[in-house]
Amino acid sequence: MNLVDLLIARKVETLKENCARIKGERRQNWIDEGNRLVEWRDRLGLTRAFIARETGVNYSRLRRLETGLPVKDGKIIYRIYEMTLESFETRIEHERFFEQFRLLQDQ
C-alpha cells in the first residue's frame, strides 16, 4: 500500500476504527519495549526477581510490563527498569576496566 492509499484509507476510517488502530499501535509499542527490556536483561544475565528487588517494583508488574500488558504507572516503571539495567551495565563495565587496570599494574 503506497502513501496515497494509506492516507485515503485513514481518511475514510470511522472514529471507532481510528481508536482501535491507535490502541493497537500503542499496544504493539509496549510489546516492543517490553521485548527490548527482556533482551537487555537476558544479555546482562539478570533475572526478573533481581530487577524486582533492585527497583522495589512487584515481580508480577514487571512481568506484565515485559509482555506489553497494561501496568499502572507503566512509563515510570519502564524508566526505573531501564535505569536499573543501565546502572548494572555501567557497574559491569567499571569492573572490567579496573580488572584490566590491575592486570596492567601486575605486569
Contact 38, 9 (CB under 8 A): no
Q: Domain of 99?
A: 3-106
Provide the pLDDT confidence category of residue 106 given band limits of 50, 70 and 90.
confident
CB burial readout 1-32, b (16+ within 10 A) else e: eeeeeeeeeeeeeeeeeeeeeeeeeeeeebee
Q: What total number of domains does the chain contain? A: 1
Confidence of residue 11 (pLDDT cuts 50, 70, 90): low
User: What confidence category does residue 89 fall into, taking pLDDT thresholds of 50, 70 and 90?
Assistant: very high
Query: Is the pLDDT reported for residue 105 higher than 90?
Result: no
Model confidence at 2, pLDDT cuts 50, 70, 90, reads: confident
- pLDDT of residue 102 exceeding 90, the answer is no
Contact 78, 33 (CB under 8 A): yes
Q: Phi and psi for 56 in degrees, rounded to 5?
A: 80, 15
Per-residue pLDDT of 18-60, as tens digits, reads 788 888 888 899 999 999 999 999 999 999 999 999 999 999 9
pLDDT of 12 reads: 66
pTM of the model: 0.73
Helix (H, G, I), strand (E, B) or coil at 73: coil
